[in-house]
Structure 1
Amino acid sequence: MAEYTYDVVVIGAGPAGEGAAMNAAKHGRRVAVIEDKKQVGGNCAHRGTIPSKALRHNVRQIIQFNTNPMFRDIGEPRWFSFPRVLKDAERVIAKQVKLRTGFYARNRIDLYHGKAYLLDEHRLEIRGAGTANDVLKAKEIVIATGSRPYQPPDIDFSHRRIYCSDSILKLGHTPRTLIIYGAGVIGSEYASIFVGLGVKVDLINPGSRLLSFLDDEISDALSYHLRDNGVLMRHNEEYETVEGNETGVVLTMKSGKKIRADAFLWCNGRSGNTDNLGLENVGLECNSRGQLKVDDHYRTALPHIYAVGDVIGYPSLASAAYDQGRSAASDLVSDAYFRFVDDVPTGIYTIPEISSVGKTEAELTAQRVPYEVGQAFFKHLARAQITGDTVGMLKILFHRETKELLGIHCFGDQASEIVHIGQAIMSQPGELNTLEYFINTTFNYPTMAEAYRVAALNGLNRIF
């Protein structure tokens, strides 16, 4: 057993851990990262964001090919299996791992593979790897261990027809029918992916509406298009039992309904990876979902131990996790760039995709804010007509009197890119953050960004 001393030890090499490690190293700190997987990137690169978004991109291309009349001149519609489409996504994962491995080497960050275990407030033991039993001593520690799908104990996830959002990436065939339990972001995204491959999907939602945190109009639009593509949604339903056999899975719900499918995908919640971390040795406790509580500087109850990313819960996004990691490092090195990450845009990669930032209509109504709406429908934009991606809209919410931007909501192709224009203007101070920016700015034509000008004029015409 050997003992090594560092300024900062980061547990986890996902987006949050990477952000913390890189920022600390750039400030001259001696940094080590402990990662329990064989490769860096975390769940984001290997089981979550990257593979699912690569899958979605490929499925979207298949849909475009099969529905575009121009392609009928060169052949009939094609069918692609889930494993075939997934194999192409692995190409992206390999590129991400290579890129991020280079970051650690270039910044002289020591990377240890194994499971971290807190011996006391400043020492960690590495377990279960070639460097097992080595001890790292650190002035500061950043916990960035991420999360995993929550798995209720009464469901047999070892059954070959029952999957979670991690294990679904090992699916070796394309089921004809699929039950997805949980209609949150992950469940909705996989419903889009599988229905795009021709799978009959039942989407079971324990709640009353789809993605209730979204603006109502955007949520309704997603519901319509999922149904239009063939997804059968069942709201206000909870499972009683999930039973797998040799030919399929039977879901029995508390309402008495029974549904059968070739496979079952659980997408209902995630748990923080804090078990077997030795938290009890330093007096830290997590909640029932394995999440750690932090203050507004990402410090736990012990001020030299930080926690960032999915392990602290909301918003559980790769984009936020990276910024949280950087901010935690900014706090421990006392630089000028610390910020509490609370202005994160929502990006949902369904087909079509969704993105938003700021307030919803329901929130503004509840707060009695006198707002108005500006809309631009993609079907009226020349660029969307050229590409054929005419489904969707951009909605701008603004104050009737001051014209201050209050919310940007986008549904359709490139929504997660388009929203950032509105986000940039909303972050400007005072009079720079108004609807008039879009009215007084010339946009390239034809572009999707032109939707801001169209929506701004639409909203301005509503003011009397």
Structure 2
Amino acid sequence: MADFDLIVIGSGPSGRRAAIQAAKLDKKVLVVDKRHRVGGVSVHTGTIPSKTMRETVLNLSGWRERGFYGRAYRVKQDISAADLQERMTKTLDHEVDVLDHQFARNRVRTAVGQASFVDPTHVRIEAEGGEEQVHSARFVLIACGTRPYRPAHIPFNGTNVFDSDEILAMPKLPRSLTVIGAGVIGVEYATIFSALDVSVTLVEPRPTFLDFVDRELIEEFTHELRDRNMSLRLGSEVTGIEFDDHGRPVCRIASGRDVVSEVLMFAAGRVGETDTLNLAAAGLDADKRGRVEVDPQTLQTKVPHIYAAGDVIGFPSLASTSMEQGRLAACHAFGLQPVPPPEYFPYGIYSVPEISTVGMSEEEVKKRGIPYECGIARFRETSRGHIMGLETGMMKMIFSKKTARLLGVHIVGEGATELIHIGQAVLNLKGTIDYFMENTFNYPTLAEAYKIASLDAWNRAFANAASR
């Protein structure tokens, strides 16, 4: 008899969801985390802290009201790093308390320590004081998450050169910031600091960024960033980081156009926290970025009773999809065959402004050779947008000209990550433009943009056919 039915390594979104699902199936579960508090990267350094920081910045800076009161408007004139950290601490305490309660009421055991494999069925847990425990398990889930990629040529010092985890504990807000890496994390932090009126330069070696997002949406987003004086250095290869006579980091660019700022943040990728797991003892290995390969349908590794989920298995690396991966892994391990997830799930980028997308982009539709038409709605065209003082923000909807089915929804602007779920539901239910044309939306709301965009597409592609 094994000590546990399931041992979960990591208590982030995928780990905790798997643990609770297994516990509800009356299984004996142990969750191991090297942190003293549960929650994983998502709660302590990733999703929750960065989104809390974003909300605090938007509230204290008066960002949402500047359409009415001008760009100089602020709720609090002198915003400090302590202001941001105070709200983060309260939010994190609440999240940890909720998770502790969930584990307790579902009788999930937890252990603090560094987990590693002894063999495919035994896991060693080493506590800080050196005390060790070894437990056996019928199934193991690797859900250890990731950490920032820290290349040797970047002189991280915890003072003015940070990675994306360290930036949260920055002692004071800078007047200027360079962000290397225009992925989701880099874009989010760059735009959050820009909303604080910090002078931000975003450096990316590739000529484009966020390539999985519809290009028209990125063009709109880019225009807004440049309109507020954010500097975008795309196609700029970083050759090194040095310090000037005042101790400020200097980002050396291959073109010779260097960037000097008070603070530099490196946000070009993350690596799986698998290097301490002794994967070889379990018959497993990881790629050069520490990621574990799994069967995408079952979440099993090449050792069938060992599963992996969340950021450690790579794309899409979203908290939302990680939760579902953890649940599916637990269900599969204990013989349940849950309904396959819907084809389309939303992406949310918590930049300022937000970006959210579901379904096919215009580029994907073209690639597949599907005859299509787009409809556009500007948030300023809605009464709610005018009430809120919104000057920017747009929704783009893509429909098949042959079947009138919705193919994709792409939003940039206030509330994008909330609004996207209407499009997600219609998309997965194979709905058509008729849904948006015939249904009533609350007035005034930003959701009216769905009707405006669908009418725009109808007028372009379907009106003439309907009149014949």
TM-score, normalising length: structure 2: 0.94
Q: Shift of residue 336 of structure 1?
A: 3.6
User: How far off is 1:165 after superposition?
Assistant: 0.3
2: CA distance between counterparts of 1:186 and 1:172?
20
For residues 325 and 197 of structure 1, what CA distance do their matches in structure 2 show?
Answer: 36
Q: Secondary structure at the match of 2:397?
A: strand
Q: 1:18 aligns with which of 16, 19, 29?
A: 16
State the Cα distance separating 1:288 from its structure 2 match: 0.6
The Cα of 1:65 is off from its aligned counterpart by: 6.9
1:119 is matched with 118
* SS of equivalent residue, structure 1 residue 301: coil
- Could you say which residue in structure 2 is the equivalent of 1:194? 193
Q: Which residue of 1 aligns with 2:154?
A: 155
Residue identity in the other structure for 2:161: I
Return closer, same or farther for 1:80/1:266 CA change in 2, 3 Å cut-off.
Answer: same
Name the CA distance, whole Å, in 1 between partners of 2:13 and 2:399: 33
Shift of 1:350: 1.0
Hey, what does 1:251 align to over in structure 2? 251
> What is the match of residue 284 of structure 1?
284
Correspondences of 1:292-311 after superposition (within 5 Å): 292-295=292-295, 296-311=297-312
1:80 and 2:79 correspond? yes
Q: Give yes or no for the alignment of 1:448 onto 2:446.
A: yes
Contact 2:373 2:457 in 1 (8 A): yes
Q: What are the equivalent positions in structure 2 for 1:7-156 lying under 5 Å apart?
A: 7-61=5-59, 62-64=61-63, 67=66, 69=68, 78-129=77-128, 132-156=131-155
CA contact (8 A) 1:382 1:447 kept: yes
Distance in 2 (CA, whole Å) between partners of 1:157 and 1:202 is 18
Residue of structure 2 equivalent to 1:375: 376
What is the deviation of 1:247? 2.5
Aligned-residue offset at 1:221: 1.1
Q: Provide the secondary structure at the position in 2 that maps to 1:365.
A: helix
Distance in 1 between residues matched to 2:335 and 2:435, nearest whole Å: 36
For 1:80, the aligned partner's letter is: I
Residue 209 of structure 2 aligns to a residue whose secondary structure is coil
> After TM superposition, what 4+ stretches of structure 1 lie above 4 angstroms from structure 2?
68-72, 74-77
Q: Deviations over 1:41-79 (max 9, x none)?
A: 11111111111111111212213377365699x998723
In structure 2, the gaps of 5 or more residues are none
Structure 1 position 358 matched with structure 2 position 356: no
Letter in 2 for 1:143: I
Is the contact between residue 148 and residue 271 of structure 2 (CA under 8 Å) also seen in structure 1? yes
8 Å CA contact 2:175–2:262 kept in 1: the answer is yes
Distance in 2 separating the partners of 1:249 and 1:274: 31
* Structure-2 change in CA distance of 1:57 and 1:159 (3 Å): closer
Q: What are the within-5 Å matches in structure 2 for residues 217-296 of structure 1? A: 217-244=216-243, 247-295=247-295, 296=297
With over 3 angstroms needed to count, the CA separation of the structure-2 counterparts of 1:167 and 1:77, relative to structure 1, is closer
Contact kept in structure 2, 1:352 and 1:412, CA below 8 Å? yes
Question: Secondary structure of 1:119's match?
Answer: strand
Structure 2 CA distance for aligned equivalents of residues 434 and 240 of structure 1 = 50
- Once the 2 structures are TM-superposed, how far is the Cα of residue 334 of structure 1 from its aligned partner? 2.0
SS of the residue corresponding to residue 116 of structure 1 reads: strand
CA distance in 1, matches of 2:270, 2:57: 25
Other-structure match for 1:212:
211
Task: String of CA shifts for 1:397-434, please: whole Å, max 9, x gaps.
Answer: 010021011001011100000000010011115xxx11
The SS at the match of 2:62 is helix
Q: Secondary structure at the match of 1:93?
A: helix
Cα deviation for residue 440 of structure 1 reads 1.1
Cα shift readout 1:256-303 (whole Å, capped 9, x = no counterpart): 232211111001001011001010112211101000000121000100
CA contact (8 A) 2:357 2:409 kept: yes
Q: Distance in 1 between matches of 2:64 and 2:213?
A: 30
Question: How far off its partner does 1:338 sit?
Answer: 5.1
Q: Secondary structure at the match of 1:134?
A: strand
Q: Normalising by the residue count of structure 1, what TM-score does the alignment of the two structures yield?
A: 0.95
Distance 1:208 1:380 in 2: 32
Task: State the distance in 2 between where 1:298 and 1:373 align.
Answer: 36
Count of matched residue positions in the alignment of Structure 1 and Structure 2: 459
Relative distance call for 1:145 and 1:76 in structure 2 (3 A) is closer
Provide the rounded CA distance (Å) in 2 between the counterparts of 1:401 and 1:280. 53
Q: How does 1:144-183 map to 2 (within 5 A)?
A: 144-183=143-182
For residues 300 and 2 of structure 2, what CA distance do their matches in structure 1 show? Answer: 24
Deviates more, 1:407-416 or 1:129-138: 129-138
**Letter matched to residue 168 of structure 1:** I
Separation in structure 2 between the aligned mates of residue 9 and residue 366 of structure 1, nearest angstrom: 44
Correspondence 1:294-333 to 2 at 5 A: 294-295=294-295, 296-333=297-334
Bigger mean CA deviation after superposition, 276-285 or 333-342:
333-342
SS in 2 for 1:351: coil
> Cα distance, 1:129 vs. partner?
3.3
| 8 Å CA contact retained: 1:378, 1:390 | yes
Deviations 1:297-343 (A, max 9, x none): 10001000000000000001111111100111111122242536863
| Cα distance in 2 for residues equivalent to 1:458 and 1:334 | 48
- SS of match in other structure, 1:13: coil
Alignment of 1:387-398 (within 5 A): 387-398=388-399
SS in 2 for 1:455: helix
Distance in 2, Cα, partners of 1:177 & 1:233: 14
Structure 1: where are the runs of 5+ without partners? none
SS in 1 for 2:144: coil
